[in-house]
Amino acid sequence: MREYSAPAVQPVADDENLADIVWANAERFPDAISFRRQVDGSWLDVTAREFAAQVIAVAKGLVEAGIERGDRVGLMSKTRYEWTLLDFAIWAAGAVTVPIYETSSPDQVAWILSDSGAKGVFVETGEHLAAVDEVRDQLPALSYTWQIEAGRPAVDELTTLGAEVADDTVHERRRAVGAGDLATIVYTSGTTGRPKGVELTHSNLLAEIRADIAAFPQLMEQGNSLLCFLPLAHILARAIAVTALTARVTLGHTPDIKNLVADLGTFRPTFVVAVPRVFEKVYNGAKQKAHSEGKGKIFDAAEQTAVSYSEAQDSGGAGLGLKAQHFLFDKLVYGKLRAALGGRCIAAVSGGAPLGARLAHFFRGIGVPVFEGYGLTETSAAANVNTQDAFRVGTVGRPVAGTSVRIADDGEVLLKGGVVFGAYFNNETATKESLEDGWFHTGDLGELDDDGFLKITGRKKEIIVTAGGKNVAPSGLEDTMRAHPLISQAMVVGDQRPFIAALVTIDEEFFPAWKSQNGKPADASVADLAQDADLVAAVQGAVDEANKLVSHAESIKKFVILAQDFTEAGGEITPSMKLKRNVVTKNHATSIEGLYQK
């Protein structure tokens, strides 16, 4: 058993809560630009004073509507300014936010609102409202529904409703909330069974905020800016957003990842937070563009130089020749890549899934280090993270301040500290299974080196045992395959089978370019080309790369290209892009059987 602990920076006092952040900023730095809000294509400044006024106005409306201290209020919307405004208004009213992914089905909405006993819910669109209305008969506790985009928008409606309520009513309500009180119930986008409601207190999130500021002092400082585009229902995006607000970093929101490059260009953030898929797409898009324009050789050489330059940072620094090459490619290639991130981006933070080592070296080599971290909803986001001063590619970094990590005898990662949750809502059985003497059993497998850097090696429940008795962790193989621009998803199979195989889906965005480059008909579908020798060879190349990481017994021997990608609507992936293996296995049972027929 190995263990490593990081001391806390500043303990959370019993009388603190998250709503304090709004008034601390408004009173001490009233003219600081807390947000730049996107309105009709322009970014409009919102000062700390203005934000506090809007928060208290909405909170007064909630109080007047009948929301009491401790009541649960659902919040179902894409990432937008109002999401953060409503989150803080709910806290200011002494209530508890229950985030819901805006892509959730009516059944998922019903489960979250009924299990949490939500008294009210904010929805963004008429479509979301219809989803709630469809299941309203299952929600006896639900008394209020407000719509963000409506003839009478939720913010305006509540501001008008609470106009006669005294400000002091809200101040008394928010000051009565202590650090140990519940701030939010976040439902895990469970890959098996019903999502569990993770109870996070004000103390949990304040501990996360302080740990993040300590980890990233060069990013979390006034004058910097962050563009938030991940779903705020995901704890990573939300924790970073409230941390940015606390540190007086100017925050922007954009809901549509399709316009991300344009939004990055106009907002020009100092740093971004994303999941590895976003970094893969930036890299793959740049590589594809270079090759299609006949500049593939230059890009490939620049890529190798960036990787080598980054690797050299871990072993004494680059030599003169490598420095000269790096300087040249900085002018030719790297500057353009940084410009795609807005031109001011000095770093990025990645979480939610593993980032490949080559990709990490590539981005560090072009001058935008990606600080990979690790955490779960149950740890208020990051429990471990790489930082500027403690960076080890291939790991998820050391524990954040106030957190301890332990590797159990069976290899499971255990976590303890101020960021770790206290219970699952309405689920004592699951709580007892996951928490033991304050240690959270993550279900992930990992290794801890002598310097406290954690490496995640797999997921306990996902281990495949072949018919020959070989234990195989599928995630490493799948992550490496997904890094290939042509591959959208990969799922490794082989439990109680003679060998390891894989189901593969094709990236719909990259597919047209691949067809053009390989002389295939533009109207050909994935189903049409599933047996095509060139497509099979391209996927085989990704499989070969993945197999380099494992022994022969663990390597993928066969694969099948599926006609359709895995979808959230089909129940095959979660909103955070994690595979629901049991659903995929059931939906594609015939294809899996076909892999093992002689």
pLDDT for the residue 41 = 85
Residue 410 lies in a domain: no
DSSP code at position 437: T
Residue 30 lies in a domain: no
Predicted confidence (pLDDT) at residue 31 exceeds the cutoff of 80: yes
Q: Write out the residue range of the structural domain in which residue 337 sits.
A: 276-402+452-457
3-state percent helix, strand, coil for the chain, nearest multiple of 5: 40, 20, 35
Mark whether 264 and 319 lie in a shared domain.
no
pLDDT for the residue 190 = 61
Mark whether 518 and 581 lie in a shared domain.
yes
Residue-by-residue DSSP string for 356-374? PHHHHHHHHHTT--EEEEE
Mark whether 516 and 586 lie in a shared domain.
yes
More confident residue, 279 or 329: 329
Predicted confidence (pLDDT) at residue 591 exceeds the cutoff of 60: yes
Residue 433 lies in a domain: no
Residue 546 lies in a domain: yes
Q: What angle do CA 172, 175, 181 make, to 5 degrees?
A: 125
Residue of 118, 152, 128, 139 whose CA lies nearest to 77: 128
Residue of 73, 53, 74 whose CA lies nearest to 63: 73
pLDDT for the residue 492 = 95
CATH of the domain at 488: 3.30.300.30
Mean pLDDT of 208-231: 96
Q: At what angle do helices 276-292 and 296-313 cross, to 10 degrees?
A: 140
Predicted confidence (pLDDT) at residue 484 exceeds the cutoff of 70: yes
Q: Give Cβ neighbours of residue 194 (< 8 Å, ≥ 6 apart).
A: 111, 115
To the nearest whole percent, how much of the chain has pLDDT over 70?
99
Mark whether 591 and 557 lie in a shared domain.
yes
Mark whether 134 and 246 lie in a shared domain.
yes
Q: How many CA atoms lie within 13 A of 359 on its CB side?
A: 28
Amino acid identity at 374: Y
Mark whether 153 and 287 lie in a shared domain.
no
Residue 164 lies in a domain: yes
Mark whether 316 and 379 lie in a shared domain.
yes
| Residues 233, 102 contacting (CB under 8 angstroms) | yes
Mark whether 147 and 231 lie in a shared domain.
yes
Tokens representing residue 84 in the block: 């953060």
pLDDT band for position 191 (cuts 50, 70, 90): low
* Strand-pair category, 197-201 with 182-187: antiparallel
Rounded to whole angstroms, the Cα distance separating 580 from 361 reads 30
Mark whether 352 and 282 lie in a shared domain.
yes
Residue 491 lies in a domain: yes
Q: Is 387 helix (H, G, I), strand (E, B) or coil?
A: coil
pLDDT band for position 192 (cuts 50, 70, 90): low
Tokens representing residue 418 in the block: 């101020």
Which range is least confidently modeled, 375-389, 391-405, 407-421, 561-575? Answer: 561-575
pLDDT band for position 288 (cuts 50, 70, 90): confident
Residue 423 lies in a domain: no
Mean pLDDT of 359-370: 96
Rounded to whole angstroms, the Cα distance separating 524 from 58 reads 52
Mark whether 321 and 287 lie in a shared domain.
yes
Mark whether 590 and 553 lie in a shared domain.
yes
Residue of 494, 446, 444, 445 whose CA lies nearest to 470: 494
The last residue of one of the domains, among 457, 475, 494, is: 457
Print the SS3 string covering 517-572: HCCCCCCCCHHHHCCCHHHHHHHHHHHHHHHCCCCHHHCEEEEEECCCCCCCCCCC
Rounded to whole angstroms, the Cα distance separating 122 from 146 reads 5
Rounded to whole angstroms, what are the CA distances from 211 to 9, 181, 194, 309, 341? 7, 20, 31, 30, 26
Mark whether 552 and 580 lie in a shared domain.
yes
Beta strands in 434-499 (DSSP E): 435-436, 439-448, 454-459, 464-465, 471-472, 487-493
The last residue of one of the domains, among 428, 457, 486, is: 457
Mean pLDDT of 55-78: 98
Predicted confidence (pLDDT) at residue 355 exceeds the cutoff of 90: no
Residue of 546, 545, 524 whose CA lies nearest to 534: 524
DSSP code at position 468: T
More confident residue, 61 or 357: 61
The last residue of one of the domains, among 269, 300, 328, is: 269
More confident residue, 256 or 431: 431
CATH of the domain at 69: 3.40.50.12780
pLDDT for the residue 575 = 80
- What is the model's pTM? 0.89
**Domain total of the chain:** 3
Residue 20 lies in a domain: no
